[in-house]
Amino acid sequence: MANMKEIAKMARVSLGTVSHVLNNSAVVREPVRLRVLEAVQAAGYQPSQLARGLRRDKTNMIGMIIPDITNPFFPAVVRGAEDVAFSNGYRLILCNTDNDHSKELVHLNELRTYLPAGLIVIPSNFSDLTTQAESYRRAGTGVVCIDRLPKNWSGDSVTADNEEGAYNATRCLLQFGHTKLATITGPLHLTNAKERLDGFKRAMREARLHLAPEYVQETTFDKQGGYSKTLILLRLIPRPTAIFAGNDMIALGALLAIREAGLRCPEDISLIGFDDLDLAETTNPSLSSVSQSGYQLGTTAARILLDRLEGDKGPAKHLVLETTLKIRHSVAAPPGAPRRNRASKGRRSTKPGLAEERA
Amino acid sequence: MANMKEIAKMARVSLGTVSHVLNNSAVVREPVRLRVLEAVQAAGYQPSQLARGLRRDKTNMIGMIIPDITNPFFPAVVRGAEDVAFSNGYRLILCNTDNDHSKELVHLNELRTYLPAGLIVIPSNFSDLTTQAESYRRAGTGVVCIDRLPKNWSGDSVTADNEEGAYNATRCLLQFGHTKLATITGPLHLTNAKERLDGFKRAMREARLHLAPEYVQETTFDKQGGYSKTLILLRLIPRPTAIFAGNDMIALGALLAIREAGLRCPEDISLIGFDDLDLAETTNPSLSSVSQSGYQLGTTAARILLDRLEGDKGPAKHLVLETTLKIRHSVAAPPGAPRRNRASKGRRSTKPGLAEERA
DNA sequence: GAGATATTTTGAAAGGTTTCAAACGAGTTC
DNA sequence: GAACTCGTTTGAAACCTTTCAAAATATCTC
């Protein structure tokens, strides 16, 4: 690969001048500028990002730390971030933590040695991101936290409006006439799981319905968890006629358990999930879900990061993205209820988009 | 961040010695070695990957270029590659091409400036990877191509046994008694789409069944393509009673079209896809599919790459991974046929794993 | 214990860029 | 025509490693 020295020689100028042309860091007379540009063109020269990063004390890489790219919700987030990053000249280094905070720590330490321009992080379970991010910020590296927040997070963040989404989903179930509701939540130390439970409870409270503790089951955000906790719920007396699942994977497990128990969804039990994964449309019955745009989560986070890199020194941003309720075939009136109010296929609720900003 | 100079001072040795301790590049007396290690520990020192890469002319980054992380097949591939890479001290830079070869080219050129240790590539449509890879190889950078191969590819590769998988799927349909088969292929300039069609044709030939050209529809590897091509197939006379889809997204679109046309799967039309995505299990009816392990594709590619980095100079490797046929509810005997031979739920065929190696 | 040899440590160069102070050249002013 | 400006260009240092030849030290042999 050609280097700057060769370009300098070709264009009969000094190293410094080449650099200035490439970075617009000083005015260079037009004829000289052109000569340099020509040489660059002719040699197919591209500056070494390593040397540049070393000298500038900052590269054009963005570290993206997520639990697991294999989890169907995350690819869209990554893609959103990559699109914005890429079109602004930044590249993504992808790291999976498997929700293991020690693996997260390894990544955080390791990434430092690349002098990344910034970090976009979906924190792991029991993440220690807050202290780590502090040291990054001291080094001038932006850190944006998305989807869920670690303990004491005070930096930039982008999340979905989990509380409101869950509230709307629950209200929908109530409007269908259900009174025996249950919920299967994700791990409640995760802020998103907690907020969804809060939304569920708010709707229940407003409807003046009592919520016995055994109707709230906590588990991991996966199919297996949804399956086993649903079996528990189905043994309760009275049996719940509607379940709000903390995410679609849990809902999927619930669907399995319901079917296996010889019950039908939605005739016997209605079900709403969260995330609106692609698979929600294709299950049997199709799964109702609180839709949040992972892609938008990613683009927004990257946008904030880039703004910071361009010098935005404002106070920490906490963006909250709106959700949309998608009612499909997994919701109906409870058994024995007068059957007005059939499930209307398709969207409802408000349009998606940037919502309120709590600063 | 502490640098090597500080460590050297703390341990009262020279820069070179610190480097030797860190890299085992020369024997260092035990007491000295310990002093250095202690200083490293105390300072929490981590060597700058940038400086190291610059000096060594090679970083520990692996460029991973894929069409689109949002496509449900690819995350597992990426994860497989990341796992192997990470546990060997390498990191992944993720690039999406959207199947656009000019975007691929941009990534290939850009990545060069990071001096990556290697590249793992799923080539885009009409990829020019072959010439690009040549120049990478000259620079000592390994390139492994996976899933499908660009024109004239002669380097290392890992692919699924597409031909055999498609052949097995088709034979299964034939055994169920179908004689009017159709297939919807992916873009036939992609080697994997082509090979799957070949397998389909081989089974048809062996069964001495004529295959009229209109029963072979080519489209893109997505739901939309599957949907529209299925509508065309359904208008043919005689109407096919079984469809082999080039991948699961196409199959999903086919399912939609079948349902919309007022037909039933599998009673009227049987359907088999390819890839065995997670969603195949949850569709209605559950989708039969040729299962290939994306994860294994990724790990194998990374493994080959690492072997190359450790000095393996052998001839180009062409690994071909076996597939497994998963028959679910989307397959049954054709309408009007004597109904022996009901679909047996669950796996069949051989175990997954590394298959033959064509060198 | 001197000389030779083997082992360990050092110092400086190199890798490709950015950046800053200094040098340069062309006008301008008196 | 000397002294000054102003706008351009240059050269060298710095960023943090690795590596290689050379220096320093330890070990061995007689």
In 3D space, the residue among A234, A249, A155, A138 whose CA is nearest the CA of residue A193 turns out to be A249
Burial of A176 (0-12, 13-18, 19+ CB in 10 A): buried
CA distance A209 to chain B (A): 33
Closest C-alpha to B148, from B62, B225, B233, B71: B71
Integer-rounded Cα Rg, in Å, for chain A is: 25
Q: CA of B57 vs C1' of C12, distance in Å?
A: 19
Q: Return the amino acid letter for B283.
A: T
A204 contacts A273 by C-beta, under 8 angstroms = no
Q: Which domains does chain B have, with CATH numbers?
A: 4-47 (no CATH), 56-160+295-321 (3.40.50.2300), 162-292+322-352 (3.40.50.2300)
CB pairs under 8 A between A and B: 121
CA distance B85 to B62: 8
Q: Looking at beta carbons, which residues of chain B come within 8 Å of A100?
A: none
Tell me the DSSP string of A37-105.
HHHHHHHT----HHHHHHHHT--SEEEEEES-TTSTTHHHHHHHHHHHHHHTT-EEEEEE-TT-HHHHH
CB contact under 8 A, B115 and A50: yes
Q: How far apart are CA B223 and CA B215, in angstroms?
A: 18
For residue B113, list chain A residues with Cβ-Cβ distance below 8 A. 1, 46-50
Q: What is the DSSP letter of B97?
A: -
- Tell me the C-alpha distance between B274 and A278, whole Å: 18
Strand D, nucleotides covered by protein (CB < 7 Å)? 7-21
Which residues in chain B are contacts of A49 at CB distance < 8 A? Answer: 113-114
pLDDT value at residue B357: 38
Distance in Å from D28's C1' to B43's CA comes to 40
In B261-354, which residue ranges form alpha helices assigned H by DSSP? 294-309
Which of B88, B256, B282, B293 should we substitute to test contact with A (largest number of A Cβ atoms within 10 Å)? B282
Residues of chain A contacting B252 with CB distance shorter than 8 Å: 282
Residues of B in contact with A59 (CB under 8 A): 50
pLDDT of A311 reads 87
Question: B201 to chain A, minimum CA–CA distance in Å?
Answer: 30
The span from the CA of A321 to the CA of A300, in Å, is 9
3-state secondary structure at position A2 = coil
Q: Which nucleotide is nearest to A56 (CA to C1')?
A: C18
Strand pairing partners for A64?
A: A94, A120
Name the residue facing B96 among A82, A114, A278 (closest C-beta).
Answer: A82
CB spacing of A114 vs B75 below 8 angstroms: no
Nearest residue to nucleotide D13 when comparing alpha carbons to its C1'?
Answer: A55
Nucleotides of C under 7 A from a protein CB: 7-21
State the pLDDT at residue A282: 85
Which residue of chain A is at minimal alpha-carbon distance from B295?
A: A70
Instruction: Decide: CB of A56 under 7 A of nucleic strand C.
Output: yes
- CB-neighbour burial class of residue B261 (10 A; exposed 0-12, middle 13-18, buried 19+): middle
pLDDT computed for residue A248 by the predictor:
97
Q: What is the amino acid identity at position B116?
A: P
| Chain B residues within 8 Å of chain A (Cβ atoms) | 1, 46-51, 53-54, 59, 61, 68-70, 72, 74-76, 78-79, 82-83, 86, 91-96, 109-110, 112-115, 139, 252, 255, 278-279, 282-285
What global pTM score does this model have? 0.90
Nearest residue on chain A to B72, alpha-carbon basis: A72
10-residue mean pLDDT series, chain B (359 residues): 92 96 94 96 95 96 97 97 96 96 95 96 95 92 96 96 98 97 97 98 97 97 96 97 98 95 96 95 92 98 95 94 97 78 42 37
Q: How far: B154 CA to D19 C1' (Å)?
A: 35
Q: Do B278 and A79 touch (CB under 8 A)?
A: no
Reading the block at residue A78, the tokens are: 């990554």
Query: What's residue A346's pLDDT?
Result: 40
Task: Flag if A79 and B69 touch (Cβ within 8 Å).
Answer: yes
Ranges under pLDDT 70 in chain A: 1, 337-359
Contact list, A92 vs chain B (CB under 8 Å): 93-94
Show which residues sit with Cβ under 7 A of nucleic chain D: A 12-17, 20, 26-29, 32-33, 51, 54-55, 57; B 1, 3-5, 15-16, 18-20, 22-23, 25, 45, 47-48, 51-52, 54-56
Nearest protein residue by Cα to C1' of nucleotide C16 = A51
Separation of A17 CA and C22 C1' (Å): 15
B338: preceding bond cis by omega (within 30 degrees): no
